[in-house]
Amino acid sequence: MKRFLGAILPLTLMAAGCSQPASALDKPVAAPAAKRFANEGMGLKTAVFAGGCFWGVEAVFSHVKGVKSAVSGYHGGKSSTAKYDLVSSGMTNHTEAVKITYDPKIVRYDELLRIFFSVVADPTLKNRQGPDRGAHYNAELIPVNAEQRKVASAYLSQMQASGKWSGRIVTDITPYRAFYKAEAYHQDFALKNPRHRYIVRWDAPKIAALERMYPKNYRSSFIRN
């Protein structure tokens, strides 16, 4: 599992593989278009998503048109323990998350939700995604304002009623508390390490699914932090 690499990855970027069973996200789900559009007004907006390992969440959103930045980090917990080796222990009350800045004229929050649940996170899994286990890998929507909270709640209800997923939707809507930027070596990780075994196995397929399923939203270039 990815968390076991925490102490040594900064030094060696070891290509340790994951041997856990494949998740449902090996078969991306065509999430429904939102019935409740986000009304976000003018100017750039911020959104926070937790969907398991932040490498893949960041990588997908970095390829979405309208996204201006995607920053890997830790949501919740305390600043003193917002460190990869500690968060990976599962004892710090953080989740791995990504804060994105986007232009709602190009991509709305509800469209980001659709992309997230189509190719990034399996909403039927609790405290795990892909090969990674623990509360710090929980899938969470973390609205930063009332409009995002209403849109997120409506979309989760729509997802449950859609029948697209065989299991119950368990993704949480979590109040925004604090976001701490992760260590520099985590930023743009998929771009810098395209041959890393974890990226090849788990995250490159997500980017390929984004391009295939949402060509109008896909951008070939990777937005760097």
- Residues with a catalytic annotation lie at 53
Cα end-to-end span (Å), the chain: 26
Residues β-bridged to residue 107: none
Cβ atoms of residues 225 and 187 within 8 Å: yes
**Phi, psi of 72, deg, nearest 5:** -80, 140
Query: What is d(CA 123, CA 168) in angstroms, rounded to the nearest whole number?
Result: 8
Can you state the percent helix, strand and coil of the chain, rounding each to 5?
35, 20, 45
Cβ atoms of residues 122 and 26 within 8 Å: no
Going from the C-alpha of 48 to that of each of 6, 12, 61, the distances in angstroms are: 23, 29, 11
